[in-house]
Amino acid sequence: MGKEITKRETDYSQWYNDIILKAGLADYSAVRGCMVIKPYGFALWENMRDQLDKMFKETGHQNAYFPLFIPKSFLSKEAAHVEGFAKECAVVTHYRLMNDPDGGGIVVDPDAKLEEELIVRPTSETIIWNTYKTWIQSYRDLPILVNQWANVVRWEMRTRLFLRTTEFLWQEGHTAHATSQEAIDETKLILDVYATFAEEWMSLPVVKGVKSISERFAGAVDTYCIEALMQDGKALQSGTSHYLGQNFAKAFDVQFTDKENKLDYVWASSWGVSTRLIGALVMAHSDDDGLVLPPKIAPIQVVIVPIYKGDEQKKMIDEKVKMFMEDFKALGVKVKYDDNDNNRPGWKFAEYELKGVPVRIAIGARDIQNNVVEVARRDTKEKTSVSIDGLANTVAVLLNDIQQNIYTKAKNFRDEHIAKADTWDEFEKLLDSKGGFISAHWDGTAETEEKIKELTKATIRCIPLNNLQEEGKCILTGKPSKERVLFARAY
């Protein structure tokens, strides 16, 4: 036997790591907390990135690129912002190395100390708003709808592959607007883009909501988020969109002249999703045999495995495959014909299951005689015999079906794991028995939120958008509340 994966029920964390390492998504690196994204993992990220990029452009955004380094003084201009990020910044202090005069190898040249230290961006609001100041004078310069694809660094104490690494890849959108309403609309528009992407492309059902004060982005007026549920019952924040008000405009003195010739500060939003989404994908859909990928973002959608004895049969299969490969390509299906003779069919079956390839086609001499192939779907493990006539079309339909089925499965799981709790006792029992989201009343104070976190490790994931308004009593303090919020233990 080849690669063994730890069972989910044995050790969920280990299962997660096994999948990522053994499916070839990523590796640990020589740098603590940083990972290597391997070609298969990066192909997955590219598919996600390309689709998001398309959606951003369809909603009027353009890409740009801002520096990796941020002058230290910039970070401290917005009070809440610096407070939020100061603890986890990598700092560049010198710009040159030298040979150790004492023979100790290469050392930092003490003479090459930077006048002003540079921060490796943990996020780019500051450098961007410093730049926007030079771009904006009039309402005619607005809105600015810019996104950048970049890496950022946050010096986390504890890291996990994809979910939290010291360096990660993401996109960050930074928009500037003439009115508050426009900035709020933008914030919500992007939240919808994220939710649509998660649900339709990643087959990942999400709850849209607003963060409580203590969970919101440092420097934001409001943070909107999409929250997803993982198979172990823990929640994962999968994307955030912030309404920044005039906080950064004020910090960087970005004013514009409006139609009435009055001077005002610019209104802003910022929003991002990261490679963390890959972690979400793994934990939402995969099983004890490996990854399960939604067809729409799978690097390989269909793999074809030939089964043959001798060159003659192989040649016959090659010819047949060549014919229907063209049909697949015409339909835009990403198909791979694995006729590598180093591995036997059984090995390939297991390998592509591990890698989460949605559909596998096996074809042998016997099949060709009957004008069929064996089609196996990754999500349900079902195998059926399918006619070679119209095969590409049949499989294209199947791919859609798989996309839908994965979503439905995740959605059912999520729906079964949203429960109401009306007493503290119920709340604790639900958390410890099945986890998931717990809908409960909360008195609206940060102190209560903190206390609940201390007692149970559960945090408020969000206040759902369009939340039902209903009178109730706080689960902990019994104080009056006008709506339920979603609690969960989270990553």
Partner RNA sequence: CGGGGCGUAGCGUAGCCCGGUUAUCGCGCCACAUUUGGGAUGUGGAGGUCGCAAGUUCGAAUCUUGCCGCCCCGACCA
Q: Which is nearer to RNA, 159 or 481 (CB)?
A: 159
Q: Which of 346, 390, 478, 480 binds RNA (CB under 7 A)?
A: 346
Cβ-based neighbours of 332, under 8 Å, separated by 6 or more: none
Q: Which of 136, 150, 304, 307 binds RNA (CB under 7 A)?
A: 307
In whole angstroms, the minimum distance from the beta carbon of 422 to RNA comes to 25
Per the CB < 8 A criterion, the answer to whether 266 and 298 are in contact is no
- 108 strand-pairing partners: 97
Q: How many residues make contact with RNA (CB under 7 A)? A: 65
Tally the C-alpha atoms within 13 A of residue 143's C-alpha that lie toward its C-beta: 24
Q: Which amino acid is at 439?
A: S
CA dist 267 and 145 (Å) reads 12
Question: Counting contacts by CB under 7 A, is residue 9 touching RNA?
Answer: no
Question: Counting contacts by CB under 7 A, is residue 466 touching RNA?
Answer: no
Q: Which is nearer to RNA, 61 or 242 (CB)?
A: 242
User: Site residues for RNA, window 375-404 (CB under 7 A)?
Assistant: 376, 381, 383
Residue 264: both structure tokens together: 């005002």
Stretch that binds RNA, among 80-88, 406-414, 429-437, 460-468 (CB under 7 A): 80-88
CA dist 224 and 278 (Å) reads 20
Q: Which is nearer to RNA, 225 or 406 (CB)?
A: 225
Question: Counting contacts by CB under 7 A, is residue 458 touching RNA?
Answer: no
Q: Which is nearer to RNA, 29 or 257 (CB)?
A: 29
The H or E element containing residue 12 is helix 12-22
Question: Counting contacts by CB under 7 A, is residue 303 touching RNA?
Answer: no
Q: Quick check: helix, strand or coil at residue 70?
A: strand
Per the CB < 8 A criterion, the answer to whether 257 and 464 are in contact is no
Between 252 and 281, how does the x/- string for binding to RNA read (CB under 7 A)? Answer: ----------------------xxx-----
Question: Counting contacts by CB under 7 A, is residue 345 touching RNA?
Answer: yes
User: Site residues for RNA, window 11-50 (CB under 7 A)?
Assistant: 13-14, 17, 28, 31-33
Between 323 and 342, how does the x/- string for binding to RNA read (CB under 7 A)? Answer: ------------------xx
User: Site residues for RNA, window 231-250 (CB under 7 A)?
Assistant: 237, 240
Closest CA to 487 of 448, 433, 444, 431: 431
* Residue 200 DSSP label: I
Question: Counting contacts by CB under 7 A, is residue 222 touching RNA?
Answer: no
Question: Counting contacts by CB under 7 A, is residue 363 touching RNA?
Answer: yes
Whole-angstrom CA distances from 309 to 17, 324, 346 are 38, 21, 14
- 149 strand-pairing partners: 171
Question: Counting contacts by CB under 7 A, is residue 164 touching RNA?
Answer: yes
Q: Which is nearer to RNA, 288 or 470 (CB)?
A: 288
Residue 61: both structure tokens together: 């955004």
Closest CA to 113 of 94, 98, 99, 92: 94
403: number of Cβ within 10 Å: 22
Q: Which is nearer to RNA, 258 or 374 (CB)?
A: 374
Q: Which of 181, 347, 390, 434 binds RNA (CB under 7 A)?
A: 347
Question: Counting contacts by CB under 7 A, is residue 133 touching RNA?
Answer: no
The dihedral formed by the CA atoms of 195, 201, 205 and 208, expressed in degrees to the nearest 10: 0
| Residues comprising the chain, all counted | 491
Question: What are the residues binding RNA (CB under 7 A)?
Answer: 1-4, 13-14, 17, 28, 31-33, 84, 87-88, 154, 156-161, 163-166, 168, 215, 217-218, 237, 240, 274-276, 289, 307-310, 341-347, 349-351, 353-354, 362-367, 373-374, 376, 381, 383, 457, 490-491
